[in-house]
């Protein structure tokens, strides 16, 4: 990996600042890439999101006080949020439809998949679920990262979990104990 040197506005080079940034990238980029993938559910987009976020962090690296990971995670989530607001969503109109996909899945009406259910969540709720349950952050850490109140994190989590509970992609073919056996009292 080539050494990136930080140049301040006066043209002086600070080689010590680049070493700490390089060390941070080497140590934490895997975890940050996992977060990016959980947000985007696309490997290429996750890599792009991480690369963009690290580039933004590099320019602000000298201003970061204390632990840099929460700062970089916030850049990651904010960059992802700005990507949601784009008008273009990657769809290309065509005259012919692509093939249906896997032939063994053609008879299935709905796939039973957590990713499918997560993709149906609004992006803010998805970000809260990813940060709380996949990244194991506390409500306070999630609120700080998203720039909202703890109450907002709690309500978004509650609404997201309620949506996931009723999502058809996560529906089980077997009836639950309450549905199948009546009241146990």
- Phi then psi for 3, rounded to 5 degrees? -80, 130
pTM of the full structure: 0.56
pLDDT of residue 19: 60
Bridge partners of residue 13, in order along the sequence? 7
Can you tell me the distance from the alpha carbon of 164 to that of 181, in angstroms, rounded to the nearest whole number? 24
Structural tokens at position 171: 């529906």
How would you class 114 by CB atoms within 10 Å of its CB: exposed for 0-12, middle for 13-18, buried for 19 or more?
Answer: exposed
Task: Spell out, as residue ranges, where the chain has pLDDT lower than 70.
Answer: 1-19, 84-92, 97-112, 172-185
Q: What is the CATH number of domain 11-86+111-171?
A: 1.20.140.160
């Amino acid at each position: 990996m080539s050494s990136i040197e930080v140049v301040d506005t006066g043209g002086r080079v600070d080689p010590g600042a680049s070493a700490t940034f390089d060390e941070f990238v080497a140590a934490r980029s895997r975890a940050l890439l996992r977060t990016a993938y959980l947000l985007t559910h696309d490997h290429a987009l996750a890599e792009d999101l991480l690369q963009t976020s690290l580039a933004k962090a590099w320019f602000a690296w000298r201003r970061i006080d204390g632990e840099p990971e929460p700062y970089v995670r916030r850049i990651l989530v904010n960059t992802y949020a700005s990507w949601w607001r784009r008008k273009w969503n990657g769809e290309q109109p065509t005259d012919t439809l692509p093939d249906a996909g896997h032939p063994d899945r053609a008879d299935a009406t709905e796939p039973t998949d957590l990713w499918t259910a997560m993709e149906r969540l609004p992006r803010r709720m998805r970000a809260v679920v990813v940060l709380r349950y996949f990244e194991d952050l506390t409500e306070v850490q999630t609120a700080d990262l998203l720039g909202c109140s703890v109450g907002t994190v709690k309500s978004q989590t509650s609404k997201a979990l309620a949506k996931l509970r009723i999502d058809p992609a996560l529906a089980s073919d077997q009836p639950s104990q309450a549905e199948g056996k009546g009241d146990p009292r």
